[in-house]
Chain A
Amino acid sequence: MKYAYYPGCTLRASYPHVDMSLKSVFRVLGVELVEIDDWNCCGSTAVENISEAVSLALSARNICLAAKISDTMLTPCTECLLQQRRVLYIMEQYPKVREKVLKVLEKVGLEWKPVKVVHPLEIVVNDIGLDKVKEKVKRDLSGIKVVPYYGCLITRPYGSEHPLYPTSMDELFSALKAEVIDYPLKTKCCGATLTATGDERGLSLVYQLLKDAKRRGGNVIVVPCTVCQFNLEVFQDKISTMYGENVSIPVLYFTQLLGLALGLSESELGIDKLLVPFSISAR
């Protein structure tokens, strides 16, 4: 299985632990990632809020480049996932917009060829399958109380699971013998960019997520979204001070915890890069 890999601007700069753990886990699971040559920024909501046409053009270019490598593009960032899936949807549903985008692509010598855009979690659960994953488990996660927090964009608006109550990550970690906590806030927004800039309104959302995770007895929160990993992890001190409560709990990108179950080392998975430490032996 070969996928065109779209890391997104922030990945290696700010999320080396995501990039590392993703590559290590996929190496073990036999998935080949080929990075798209010269990918550009997806534009995220920033460009979408200034110019729809530019936003679509940027994502369209990435898809054209990915098509040269594989018929499936993989991205670990759910915002990038949203943007690429959005352009695919719009190109299919709005013929007038499609015409405009094709013209723009033509002017820079790019040929439109749609690809499938997927997230690593979907690859692990759907393409590889839990049975195959279970085969490769070296150290199961029994005793660890995992809180599965999906965030918004992996399941909506273009996901394949229930948009509010997905279960794929729950199933994955159940298969790894972890105790998966039933977490009703599993798709309640973390505040995205608002929170990432340290805005207190956004932080109030993170407070609720962390508090409830701890209340239900969670040892660790796993997330499939880079922004959620950031938002839920890096402001825990500030939030604890704001609300006068200790909300400290480790937050791992899901491939980091999955990687530990597959027997990979903590350094390969960037566990040492976490601000809130996590150790698999401390249960």
Chain B
Amino acid sequence: MGKVKFESEVDRSFTEEILSEPGGEAILKCIQCGTCSSTCPLSHFMDYTPRQIIYMVREGFKKEVLSSRTLWICASCFSCVVQCPSGIKIADVMHIIKRKAMAEGVYPKDEFLPKLYKSFYESVKASGRINETNVVRKASLGKALGMLGLGLKLRGKGRLSLAEESVKDVSQVRKLIEEAEKA
């Protein structure tokens, strides 16, 4: 069949979902100038540049967008938001897409951050606070062990704690999160 993208492969409902979130509708104004990619400090590592992601979202290329590495390389530095001549809040759009990707469980399996985010979220849900080291460890023991050397150095300087933190009114925070999840 060659490399043809048929209209049946394009998912307009994906586009509509993104457009309906606050800040999402602005992507219709994108003139594809590439300023975002030019200023993004990590764009040369991405499989699709920020400009390409915005375009593909607009057209409904759901699979490519959700499974891209770009989402997990973006550091949310907001340089793109500051510079975009069409006033699109690109970093915020990235967050909207990332939520979709996390919800559908679609992301490159060798990217660590999605796992980290899940572990982080679970810790906040459980106790209202997090311990950085434990969150990393629970996300991937291998990753944690890989940073063992650094960890010991920091521990020596009193900059690494393994103590689990918690708010006092845990039930209030848990209820807060539950209600927010339902909203």
Residues of chain A whose beta carbon lies under 8 Å from any beta carbon of chain B: 9-10, 12-17, 38-41, 43-54, 56-58, 61, 90, 94, 97, 100-101, 103-105, 107-110, 152-153, 156-157, 163-164, 187-189, 191-195, 197-199, 201-202, 205, 234-235, 272-275
Q: How far is the CA of A52 from the CA of B73 in the complex (A)?
A: 20
Q: Is B2 an interface residue (CB 8 A)?
A: no
* Chain B residues positioned under 8 Å from A275 (CB to CB): 153-154, 157
Partner of B82, one of A10, A15, A157: A157
Which B positions have Cβ atoms within 8 angstroms of A?
21-22, 41-42, 45, 72-73, 75-79, 81-82, 89, 91, 95-96, 98-99, 102-103, 112-113, 116-118, 120-121, 124, 128-132, 136, 143, 146-147, 150, 153-154, 157-161, 163, 165, 167-169, 172-173, 175-177, 179-181, 183
Say whether A47 contacts B78, CB under 8 Å. Answer: no
- Residues of A near B161 (CB, < 8 A) are 12-14
Least CB distance from A211 to B in Å reads 14
Q: Measured between C-beta atoms, what is the minimum distance from A210 to chain B in Å?
A: 14
A189→B79 contact, CB < 8 A: yes
Contacting residue for A153 out of B78, B99, B102, B112, CB 8 A: B78
> B150, A234: Cβ atoms under 8 Å?
yes
- CB < 8 Å neighbour of B73 from A40, A45, A49, A201: A201
CB pair A57–B177 under 8 Å, yes or no, is yes
A243 to B101, CA, bound (A): 34
A272 surroundings in chain B (CB, below 8 A): 157
Interchain CB contact under 8 A, B98 and A49: yes
Task: Find out whether the CB atom of B129 lies under 8 angstroms from the CB atom of A40.
Answer: yes
- How far does the alpha carbon of A9 sit from the alpha carbon of B177 in the complex, in Å? 17
* A residues less than 8 Å from B167 (CB atoms): 38-40
What does DSSP make chain A's interface, helix, strand, loop or mixed?
helix
Q: Are B45 and A201 in contact (CB under 8 A)?
A: yes
Q: Which of A53, A152, A191, A194 contacts B183 (CB 8 A)?
A: A53
Picked from B72, B117, B136, B157, the residue with its CB within 8 Å of the CB of A50 is: B117
Say whether A189 contacts B77, CB under 8 Å: yes
**Are A49 and B42 in contact (CB-based, < 8 A)?**
no
Q: How far, in angstroms, from A206 to B161 measured CA to CA in the complex?
A: 25
CB-defined contacts of A54 to chain B, threshold 8 Å: 121, 177, 180-181
Q: Are A13 and B165 in contact (CB under 8 A)?
A: yes
Report the separation of the CA atoms of residues A187 and B79 in the bound assembly, to the nearest whole angstrom.
9
Contact between A51 and B22 (Cβ–Cβ < 8 Å)? Answer: no
Q: How far is the CA of A44 from the CA of B135 in the complex (A)?
A: 13
List, in ascending order, chain B residues with CB within 8 A of A189's CB: 41-42, 75, 77, 79
The CA of A101 and the CA of B182, in the complex, are separated in Å by 11
Whether A49 contacts B45 in the complex (CB less than 8 A), given A38-B169, A40-B167, A104-B179, comes out as no
**What is the bound-complex CA distance between A107 and B143, given in angstroms?**
39
Question: B41 near A205 (CB under 8 angstroms)?
Answer: yes
Residues of A within 8 A of B72 (CB): 194
A194 near B113 with CB under 8 A, answer: yes
**A9 contacts B165, CB within 8 Å?**
yes
Would you call B176 and A46 a contact (CB within 8 A)? no
Partner of A13, one of B117, B120, B132: B132
Contact of A51 among B146, B173, B180 (CB under 8 A): B180
With A46-B120, A47-B121 as known contacts, state yes or no: A273 contacts B158, CB within 8 Å. yes
Q: Which of B112, B159, B180 contacts A273 (CB 8 A)?
A: B159
